[in-house]
Structure 1
Amino acid sequence: MAAESPILPAPTPGTQLQRLLRMAEAQPPLRTAVVHPVDALSLTGAVEAARRGLIEPILIGPMARVRAAAETAGLDLQGLAIVDVEHSHQAAARACELASRGEVAAIMKGALHTDELLEAAVAAQSGLRTERRMSHVFVLDVPTYPRPLLVSDAALNIAPDLASKRDIVQNAIDCAHAMDIPNPKVAILSAVETVNPRMVSTLDAAALCKMADRGQIVGGVLDGPLAFDNAISVEAAEVKGIRSPVAGRADILIVPDIESGNMLAKQLFYLSNAQSAGIIMGARVPIILTSRSDPEASRLASCALAILVAQHKPAKSLR
């Protein structure tokens, strides 16, 4: 009779996000442009992050609306800088201008649509673009998974081609390095674990792995295509005979497109009680991207992640 496997206790919910906060605690506050914080939720998140010593916020928006939001939320803005602009488009442009001049080290989304902020960030005149394509990284704290789980790109690039996926992978690896994960295991997801010429995602996965072999992606261990179960479950990988240092032990999940990524992340949020931090990589400064539905813990952890990313030097790869 085979010996029973020991039952390991599940990680305490929130511990991975708490780890981010602890890593950022010893660092000075990050000077951050908060774009259009004109509702109680976004303004409270910025003020609380400032109170915790994570950011030094510069609030950019119509001053009357910012102060009205503060009054509604019962917040004291004494000592906080406010840049008065007419509307959200102008707020996004001013935040990018401050970042390009080095006057702020991060940008934080307030009460405006993500597209509006990113349109300003990717504009040629913003000064924030690099040789990398910008991409979003979720850092998930899943109670049933023993380590932080990074998912990309579930919020920015709709249907990335192979060149874009190369940047998405490298950005996610850089984010993991900033979190002190030195050689992250990267699973390139598809519906199957074999290369199928009729499934573009499997071809891209195989190409990305070969690009890593050639030094076009550095700092991580790649494998793919892998189905989701094979990426996060050692048992599932063993049943299918997959021998890989990544299978069952992934630190990073690279999704084929925004639809699959968005569904995956939200399923983990609502069915597995996952908590998250979110950030955009690939710009000259980290962009803190939170949802209106995000709890305070996620907002604070996203600020902590931005501190770590801002201090980290991105890896150099062959292009």
Structure 2
Amino acid sequence: MVEMMKNRVFADIKVGDTATLERTCSMKDVELFGVATGDLNPTHYSAESAEKFAHHRKVVAHSMWGASLLSALLGNELPGPGTVYRSQDLDFKLPVEVGDTVIVSITVKEKIAPADVVFDCKAVNQRGEAVFTGRAQVIAPTETVSQPRMELQEVALRRRHHVFEDIITRCSDLAPISVAVCHPCDQVSLEGPVEAARLGLIDPILIGPESKIRSVAKEFGFDLTGLRIVDTAHSHESAERAVAMCRSGEAEALMKGSLHTDEMMHEVASRDKGLRTARRISHVFVMDVPTYPRTLLITDAAINIYPTLEDKADILQNAVELAHVLGVEVPKVAILSAVETVYPKINSTIEAAALCKMADRGQITGALLDGPLAFDNAISEEAAKIKKINSPVAGRADILLVPDLEAGNMLAKQLSYLAEADAAGIVLGARVPIVLTSRADSAKARLASCAVAVLFAHARRAKA
């Protein structure tokens, strides 16, 4: 049944008429009010700031949050739709703490023709203590209105994108690393390394047809002053030269340009002239998801199509080492499947259980593993509680190990396009970190991928 809103016109309002509204203040209310008004007073958001600066020494709502409830009461109930504010005078008695229930009441004190109504206003908390008192004067509606109660859009709070900025900032005190940029012959693939060089992240070595590289730079206004260019005839030669420079130690990282990924990775994977190690090569997405409270790594979504159990152990170890470099001391790894129980007909659940036992036996180190876990209970504590999953990983995963490339690729792209996530990418398990860029990557994502490679290369230097 549709709930109706009906106002009270001036003629029908009597002195002594009352209306009340009850609302419990949540931290979300405080944050939404801050977003709407731009009030950044830290005592409303930080317990430490409140303890240090606030008279009450606790996180409290903005005083005007409580006062704004009066507007709702006047506009919704008495007089209701069509009401126009004239003035408001309040005396604030006590702050509203997060969790307090506020009961706001208004009483008609006076009517002033032709349409003004004066109200006594009061709000008390759940203990009956006065929060504020005062008066309000409004213009009451003169025509009766009856209409369905509106349903406002739901509002979800999201943290600001900051993961990539933090990663890039961490590189500010590090020396730039030499990066072999393989065939940067279009705007996107040349702009990334040029900008990264300008910011002092990398010393790029541009490997490709020099005339084409300079033509692209001229067309889009990129300054190549001071950048080394290694001239090649075609993309295949570019891949060979770039990989050779990384193999010899002349470059500490490899970056994909405008050639196809398979063409470059074919040279990387060469047994005789490539960059292979004893570890399986794999790709890791570093995701900045506004609706998730931590950096999220997804692996492998770009290299290994149908990885075996042995492959997954290497893929996982690569991601764990990257998490360490990014500052996560003991990353929580959720090994994903369609369900959170071991089910013999779903092979990924068997492999998830095996990987967890491998970690118990020290075959995978440096992380806390759990699996199989479905995606919902891997990233949502609420979902994990509903399904009665008792796990230190469930709902708090730092790394998602996917069953295969298809699942990982779809998951990463769904987060990017439906959850407005940013994604940086890096390939690990080779002799050097490899930056894989995409035409769809934002400029920030390309810089973040470079910064991740810089952090990883410096961490490798420290171990050498």
1:173 is aligned to 2:320 = yes
1:152 is aligned to 2:287 = no
Query: Aligned equivalents of 1:286 and 1:5: distance in 2?
Result: 45
Q: Which residue in 2 is equivalent to 1:164?
A: 311
- Please tell me whether the aligned partners of residues 17 and 276 of structure 1 are also in contact (alpha carbons under 8 angstroms): no
- Please tell me whether the aligned partners of residues 150 and 172 of structure 1 are also in contact (alpha carbons under 8 angstroms): yes
Task: For residue 82 of structure 1, give the secondary structure of its aligned residue in structure 2.
Answer: strand
Match of 1:206 among 353, 362, 365: 353
- Give the 5 Å matches for 1:223-302: 223-302=370-449
- Please tell me whether the aligned partners of residues 138 and 152 of structure 1 are also in contact (alpha carbons under 8 angstroms): yes
**Higher helix share goes to which structure?**
1
Query: Aligned equivalents of 2:372 and 2:266: distance in 1?
Result: 32
1:109-153 alpha-carbon deviations (Å, 9 max, x no partner): 110111111111010123411110000000000001111000000
Query: Aligned equivalents of 2:273 and 2:256: distance in 1?
Result: 16
Query: Aligned equivalents of 2:447 and 2:411: distance in 1?
Result: 23
Query: Aligned equivalents of 2:170 and 2:326: distance in 1?
Result: 8
Letter of the 1:20 partner, please give it: I
Q: What displacement does 1:178 show?
A: 0.6
Task: For residue 171 of structure 1, give the secondary structure of its aligned residue in structure 2.
Answer: helix
1:41-96 alpha-carbon deviations (Å, 9 max, x no partner): 11111100100001100000011111111111111211110000111111111111
1:124 is aligned to 2:251 = no
Query: Aligned equivalents of 1:223 and 1:172: distance in 2?
Result: 15
1:68 is aligned to 2:215 = yes
Task: For residue 314 of structure 2, give the secondary structure of its aligned residue in structure 1.
Answer: helix
Unaligned ranges ≥5, structure 2: 1-23, 32-156
Q: Which residue in 2 is equivalent to 1:194?
A: 341
Q: Which residue in 2 is equivalent to 1:86?
A: 233
Query: Aligned equivalents of 1:14 and 1:126: distance in 2?
Result: 40
Task: For residue 99 of structure 1, give the secondary structure of its aligned residue in structure 2.
Answer: helix
- Please tell me whether the aligned partners of residues 13 and 141 of structure 1 are also in contact (alpha carbons under 8 angstroms): no
Query: Aligned equivalents of 1:6 and 1:154: distance in 2?
Result: 37
Letter of the 1:161 partner, please give it: T
Match of 2:458 among 290, 297, 311: 311
Task: For residue 249 of structure 2, give the secondary structure of its aligned residue in structure 1.
Answer: coil
Query: Aligned equivalents of 1:237 and 1:266: distance in 2?
Result: 24
Query: Aligned equivalents of 1:159 and 1:13: distance in 2?
Result: 35
Q: Which runs of 4+ in 1 moved over 4 A?
A: 3-6, 8-11
- Please tell me whether the aligned partners of residues 11 and 146 of structure 1 are also in contact (alpha carbons under 8 angstroms): no
Query: Aligned equivalents of 1:11 and 1:24: distance in 2?
Result: 26
1:278-306 alpha-carbon deviations (Å, 9 max, x no partner): 00010010000111110100000000000
The total of aligned residue pairs comes to: 313
Query: Aligned equivalents of 1:290 and 1:76: distance in 2?
Result: 21
Task: Please say which of residues 291-300 and 121-130 is displaced more in the overlay.
Answer: 121-130
Query: Aligned equivalents of 1:99 and 1:313: distance in 2?
Result: 14
Task: For residue 79 of structure 1, give the secondary structure of its aligned residue in structure 2.
Answer: coil
Task: For residue 115 of structure 1, give the secondary structure of its aligned residue in structure 2.
Answer: helix
1:57 is aligned to 2:197 = no
1:139 is aligned to 2:286 = yes
Task: For residue 94 of structure 1, give the secondary structure of its aligned residue in structure 2.
Answer: helix
**Higher strand share goes to which structure?**
2
Q: What displacement does 1:313 show?
A: 4.1
Q: What displacement does 1:6 show?
A: 4.3
Q: What displacement does 1:4 show?
A: 8.7
1:109 is aligned to 2:256 = yes
Query: Aligned equivalents of 1:77 and 1:312: distance in 2?
Result: 29
Letter of the 1:59 partner, please give it: L
TM-score where L is the length of structure 1: 0.95
Letter of the 2:196 partner, please give it: A
Query: Aligned equivalents of 1:88 and 1:303: distance in 2?
Result: 21
Letter of the 2:302 partner, please give it: A
Identical counterparts, % of pairs: 58
